Structure 1
C-alpha cells in the first residue's frame, strides 16, 4: 500500500487523540467516563517524563499513536547522566496499517531522542512488528530479565 500522508503531533495537555485510539485499540464501543478520567489523570501525571505522539490524517482523524517513557539513570561520578526512551503503546488503526504510519511515528521518536542526546530507544515488540523495527535499526537484546508479580490480568 502507498504511504498515507499524516501529520505527527506531540501530545501536550489534551490527550484526546490518545483517548480515541485507546478506545479503538481495546475495541471498546461504549463510552466509559471513569476510563476517560483515569486516562486523563494518567496523562497529567505522566506527561512530564513521557512523550506521546499522535498521527492524524489531513482531516484531523487520529489514526496512530506512540508514547515513550523518558528513563534517566542515576548519576555517576565523572559521567554524564544517561537518558533513554522506552517506547510503548505503538498503535495504528487497522484500516490504516502498512501505510508507513508506524515508521513515521518511530522516526519522529528516534529523531527527537537523538536531538535530546539520549543513548538508546528500547521497546518490547510483537512478533509481527519485529521486521519493521529491524528496518529502523533496532536489534534483539538479551540483557533484560523480568519478574511477573501476579498482578491481575488485563484485556
Structure 2
C-alpha cells in the first residue's frame, strides 16, 4: 500500500531513548486502556536501554522526524561447535506502531529491516511471542509455529 508520506526506518542509538520511551508508554497505555502514572518510567527506560544496547538492535520508524513505530531484536550468541561457524539467534520484541499510522506498511517495513539485520548477523532463527492480534501479520511475513522450542512459564 502506498503512503502519502515518506517514513524512514533507521537503527537507534542512545540519543533515541526518550523517543523510544514515549512509544513504549503509548503501547502500555493502549494495552491498559488509560494513562499510566509513573514519574520514573522515562529514567528507568533510559537505564534499561543503555544496559541492553550491546545485545539489542532497535529500529525506529520516523515521519517528519517524529518516532511513530519501533521494533527490536535481542541477539543471543550460540555456544561454539567444532567445525561450525559461529552463529546466533534473535528474539524479536517490542513491535509497535502508533494507532494513527497503522495499516500503511510501516510494521512490515520495520519487520523487513529486522529480518535483514538478523540475516546480516548470521542468525539461525528469529523467534517471538506474538499477541493474538499480531499473529496474522507475522504469518504473512513467513513466521510459523516454533515446534523446535519448548517453554517453561515461570510465575511472575
TM-score category, normalised to shorter length? 0.7 to 0.9
Paired with 1:126 and 1:32, the residues of 2 have a C-alpha distance of 24
Q: Is the 8 A contact 1:54 1:62 kept in 2?
A: yes
Alpha-carbon offset, residue 72 of structure 1: 0.8
User: CA–CA distance in 2 between the matches of 1:118 and 1:24?
Assistant: 30
Quote the offset at 1:130 in angstroms: 1.8
Residues paired across the two proteins, number? 150
Name 2:148's counterpart in structure 1: 143
TM-score under structure 1 length normalisation: 0.87
The TM-score, its normalising length taken from structure 2, stands at: 0.87
Given that residues 70 and 84 in structure 1 are in contact (C-alpha distance below 8 angstroms), is that contact kept between their aligned partners in structure 2?
Answer: yes
Greater fraction helix: 2
User: Residue in 2 aligned with 1:41?
Assistant: 47
Q: What does the per-residue CA deviation read over 1:12-41, in whole Å, with 9 as the maximum and x for residues that have no partner?
A: 112122111011111274674411111111
- Give how far 1:2 is off: 4.3
How far is the alpha carbon of 1:143 from its aligned partner? 2.3
Instruction: Specify every segment of 5 or more residues in structure 1 that has no aligned partner in the other structure, as ranges.
Output: none
The equivalent residue for 1:52 is 58
Q: Aligned runs of 1:57-76 on 2, under 5 Å?
A: 57=63, 59-76=64-81
* Structure 2 unaligned regions, length at least 5: none
Kept after mapping to 2: 8 A contact 1:21/1:63: yes
Q: Distance in 2 between matches of 1:33 and 1:54?
A: 24
